[in-house]
Structure 1
Amino acid sequence: MAIGDKPKYDIASILIYASLVAIGLLSIYSAAPVLEYTSILDINEVYGKQLLFIGVCAILIIVILSVEVKFYERFAGLIYAVSLVSLAGLYIFGKEVNGALSWYPLGSFTFQPSEFAKFATALAVAKFLSQLNVSLKNVRDFMITAGIIALPALLIIPQPDPGSALIYCAFFFALHREGLSLWYLSLGLIATALFLGALVITTWWILLIIVVIVTLLYLLSRKQKHLKHLPKPRGYLYVIAAVICIAYTLSTSYIFNNILEDRHRNRIDIVLGRVQDDAGIGYNINQSMIAIGNGGWAGKSLDEATQTRGGYVPEQHTDFIFSAIGEVSGLLGTTVTIVLFMLLIYRVIIMAERQRNIFARIYGYGVAGIFFLHFFINVGMVIGLLPTVGIPLPFMSYGGSGLMGFTILLFIFIKLDAHRMSYYH
């Protein structure tokens, strides 16, 4: 972009954003816990408040797009530091809601700093990794990057809010794009598989599977090394790997019973099919699945949407908003929602790849990762494939902090992308 040219904002991303926000508002309206609907402008109801939040977001968008593009990189460290202070301050000035100390009281509204810490962390990671002579292959640089990501998560977990902390795993996408090996993701998947496997399969079977898999990997690697006329692989490394996996598996029972809270254990048990509790801890998931099934192909009218209109899905307008979309709009509505999210994530990745500026590219992948993990976990828990962990659906779940946090996250990147031709290292 030549000097004096106007920035070209990505219209496709903006239109998708507007569509998701609009669908979210209509879904919140249908799922509102009221006996009688009033004007959508009624700020005494959740849909009126959400419309007010949308208005605030419109102002935020104007501000974000008006600020000098280099502001976000220049002050990334300061923004990150402020977010950490705001998270730590909850333990002194925070308000407890539903058992979690995650909000600051602001009159009749509340402010959740964990929603804003996501974009602050994305900026900080992008700032650090975009510096000259910084590489994830360097142990020191990798540890610093891991620390930047872990700090906000560690402040969020004790609130307790493990769902929000889990989202910080999304930064793996950005780190992998910058050279981090897929082995790190493989280790995470292996740890998860061993943990869940130990809960549903007899421990001795898990141990046998570990020994068999490690032995096969060793024999396979030995054969490949021999074909390439290279030194044989060091067998003791495979023995160490097997011992670590076995020790981790044997500790699963202690971790599950002594570290996780009762509600988390119960939700995992329900998803794994170890217990059936449709009237207790599994009530939300069961009612959510009924609502989605009731929607059929094209959805039900508000009078016919018995699950949504009757309030059978608790807090449906927040984390379970996807079930309201499923009942009122049917398979058609859920498909449109899923397609819009996938298009937005795909669009962000395309935009990230065309960046000339390293900072903008890393930030873009952070945005895509956060959106994907939020979308994947929220929809997964609403349809009963994942435990309920209290993660909102971006742009659609009720809540000012969430909507504003996601809006800032996206539009900072749209701003960076608009200046990609003139702003790069």
Structure 2
Amino acid sequence: MGKNSASFDWVTILIYLSLVCFGWVNIYSASLGTSTPGSYLDMSEPYGRQALFIGLSVILIIVILAIEAKFYQRFSSIIYIIALIMLAGLFVFGKTISGATSWYAIGTFRFQPSEFAKIATALALAKYVSDIETNIKLISHQFKAFVIIALPALLIIPQPDPGSALVYAAFFFPLYREGISGLYFVLAISGALIFVGTLLFGPIWVAVAVVLMGCLSFFLLKKKKRPGIPLLLFIIVTSIGLSFSVNYIFNNIFEQRHRDRLNLVLGKEVDSRGIGYNTNQSEIAIGSGGWTGKGWTEGTQTKGHFVPEQHTDYIFSTVGEEWGFAGSSAVIILFTCLLFRLIFLAERQKSQFSRIYGYSVAGIIFIHFMVNIGMVLGIFPTVGIPLPLFSYGGSGLWGFTILLFIFIKLDSERLSF
């Protein structure tokens, strides 16, 4: 690791270790039934395999930190192209699991390339935006950056894996930091509100609301901040057009399971035994934990396996039941500290490449964290996004480990490139 090994950010590393270790503790509990547990390294159980994944992560960390920091910038384009090829290859060689063709399978070993495509996209975006010939404030250069982000997402959506594709919204954060207009964020939020509003109230009421808001913004805003009439008309017409296309998109492009999950979150359906079973049982488990929880391996919902996939996407329900409000808060605080630490580290970088990559890491972890916790609490629909460094799975753990420790390596040298 060389002369810079002492400059590795040990605060970030300690938070990483805390999340991984506490995650394994909860995976162990979520994997147990009413029978007597075997060895902690029992490879027939998820907790045994996760222990192996953690051990292999240590080897990955050593390799990542041993590689020269400039390597990650120099070969970012090649890494990105390889990631795209691997995603495209799923349509020919992929294995379908739980309705999604998102995996390569070699014997008992399974590999999910979308976890690593996020790393490749973060590197490629950092390389492009930091290029001396790139001015991210130009529309043409913004378009190229959006293409870099969109290509892997478009290969992931048809698998279908909308949850993994959703994570690519995280790349707005580094682009915003580097100077693109916040108008993109406003438009994205507005589009989402129009979509949800149309499902709840219908396109006519949404169209009326859009016209009223457009008129109010024109008459109430100061003259300097007031949008021009052509622009205002364009926004109103586009918004109304989107509203009237929502039902077609919802009924013809979304799959039935995605429609059901969204309807449940919006309160248009109540199905605690069918499509809403996971979320309902998760809420029961978390609610039963109280302030301090029932104790490790003592959760009745957890031991009874009432929450499907509890050691993967719904691992936070185990925390809520067995560790209560105190344990759940500790996990949320750890993630919050990690995010603020990553932003702090990103801001102290000497190179734009490292700063953009750091913000990408923070954005990816934030989206995963926010959506997963929201999903488990019933705030967001179930989309199959794991809790970073916490949920069971080799591809997920290795993907986040590589993502994070590349940045730790870049930060340790803080080169200007």
Amino acid at match of 2:299: A
Contact kept in structure 1, 2:282 and 2:314, CA below 8 Å: yes
**Shift of the alpha carbon at 1:385?**
0.2
Matches within 5 A, 1:2-21: 7-21=6-20
TM-score norm. by structure 2 comes to 0.97
Match of 1:336 in 2: 330
Contact kept in structure 2, 1:126 and 1:360, CA below 8 Å: yes
- 1:413 maps to 2:407: yes
Distance in structure 1 (CA, Å) of the matches to 2:339 and 2:242: 35
Q: Deviations over 1:174-204 (max 9, x none)?
A: 0000001111000000000000011111432
Distance in structure 2 (CA, Å) of the matches to 1:333 and 1:32: 19
Q: Deviations over 1:368-404 (max 9, x none)?
A: 0000000000000000000000000000100000000
Contact kept in structure 1, 2:33 and 2:304, CA below 8 Å: no
Amino acid at match of 2:362: A
Match of 1:299 in 2: 293
| Secondary structure, counterpart of 2:125 in structure 1 | helix
Distance in structure 2 (CA, Å) of the matches to 1:5 and 1:129: 27
**Shift of the alpha carbon at 1:45?**
0.6
| Secondary structure, counterpart of 1:96 in structure 2 | strand
Match of 2:78 in 1: 78
Q: Which one is further off, 197-206 or 368-377?
A: 197-206
**Residues 403 and 6 (structure 1 numbering): CA distance in 2 closer, same or farther, change over 3 Å?**
closer
Distance in structure 1 (CA, Å) of the matches to 2:314 and 2:207: 38
Distance in structure 1 (CA, Å) of the matches to 2:189 and 2:297: 44
Pick one of 240, 243, 247 that aligns with 2:241.
Answer: 247
- 1:379 maps to 2:373: yes
Distance in structure 1 (CA, Å) of the matches to 2:4 and 2:92: 48
Match of 1:361 in 2: 355
**Residues 128 and 335 (structure 1 numbering): CA distance in 2 closer, same or farther, change over 3 Å?**
same
Contact kept in structure 2, 1:302 and 1:309, CA below 8 Å: no
Match of 1:87 in 2: 87
**Residues 303 and 416 (structure 1 numbering): CA distance in 2 closer, same or farther, change over 3 Å?**
closer
Contact kept in structure 2, 1:7 and 1:419, CA below 8 Å: no
Distance in structure 1 (CA, Å) of the matches to 2:119 and 2:95: 23
**Shift of the alpha carbon at 1:69?**
1.0
Contact kept in structure 2, 1:122 and 1:367, CA below 8 Å: yes
- 1:58 maps to 2:48: no
TM-score norm. by structure 1 comes to 0.95
Q: Which one is further off, 293-302 or 119-128?
A: 293-302
- After TM superposition, where is structure 1 displaced by more than 6 Å over at least 4 residues in a row? none
Contact kept in structure 1, 2:4 and 2:413, CA below 8 Å: no
**Shift of the alpha carbon at 1:207?**
1.4
**Shift of the alpha carbon at 1:34?**
4.2
Distance in structure 1 (CA, Å) of the matches to 2:121 and 2:33: 37
Contact kept in structure 2, 1:319 and 1:390, CA below 8 Å: yes
Distance in structure 2 (CA, Å) of the matches to 1:304 and 1:419: 46
Match of 1:424 in 2: 416
Distance in structure 2 (CA, Å) of the matches to 1:5 and 1:319: 37
How many aligned residue pairs are there?
Answer: 415
Aligned-pair identity in percent equals 54
Amino acid at match of 2:78: L
Q: Which one is further off, 89-98 or 296-305?
A: 296-305
Unaligned runs of 5+ in 2: none
Match of 2:99 in 1: 99
Unaligned runs of 5+ in 1: none
**Shift of the alpha carbon at 1:136?**
1.5
| Secondary structure, counterpart of 1:331 in structure 2 | helix
Distance in structure 1 (CA, Å) of the matches to 2:118 and 2:137: 24
**Shift of the alpha carbon at 1:52?**
0.2
Amino acid at match of 2:359: Y
